[in-house]
Amino acid sequence: MSDSATSTSPIPSGMKLLTSFPEFLMIGEFGFGGLVWILVASSEIPNPDLQGWLMFVLISCFIVTALLFTLYFAGVQNYSPSWTALDATYHILTAAFYLSVAVMEARDTSSWRSQFYFGTFYNLNVAASVFAFVATLLYAIHAAFSISRWKSSS
C-alpha cells in the first residue's frame, strides 16, 4: 500500500461523520437545502429567469452536498490531503450561492406581497426565504470551521 493510501485526513469518515462537528451540519444542509428546493419548485415566482437560477443553485448544491457526504462516508478523503481545501472551498462558495438565493427569494417575495395577494404562493415563498437563510447559516458555519481545519492541517 502506498503512502497516500495510508494518510489520514482531519475530515472523519464512516459513522464518525454523524457525530463530528462540522460534518454533521451536512445533514442540516441537505435537509434545509432540499426543503428550499421543494418550496421554490412548488411556488410561483414572477420572474421565470430568477426561478431558473434558484433551481439551478439549489439542485446543484443538493447533489454536490449529497455526493460529498457519500464520499466522506466512504473515506475517500483519506487518500489525499487536498480534501480539506476542497471542503473549505466548496462550503465558502455554497454559502455565497445560498446567500444569493435567500436574498433574491426574499426580495421577490417582498415585492410580490405589494403586488399580489397573501395566498398560498406567498406563504411558500416566505417559507423558502426563511429556510434558505437557515441553509446559508449552516453552510457559512461549516465553511468557517472547514477553513480553520484546513489552516491547522497545513
pLDDT at 4: 44
Residues of the chain with pLDDT under 50: 1-6
* Residue 125 counted as domain residue: yes
Supply the DSSP symbol for 19.
T
pLDDT, one tens digit per residue, over 109-146 is 777 655 555 666 777 888 888 999 999 999 999 899 88
pLDDT at 114: 57
Number of Cα atoms under 13 Å in the Cβ half of residue 148: 8
* Residue 88 counted as domain residue: yes
* Residue 102 counted as domain residue: yes
* Residue 83 counted as domain residue: yes
Asked if the bond preceding 12 is cis, omega within 30° of 0, the reply is: no
pLDDT at 99: 93
Q: How many structural domains are present in the chain?
A: 1
For 86, the domain range is: 38-153
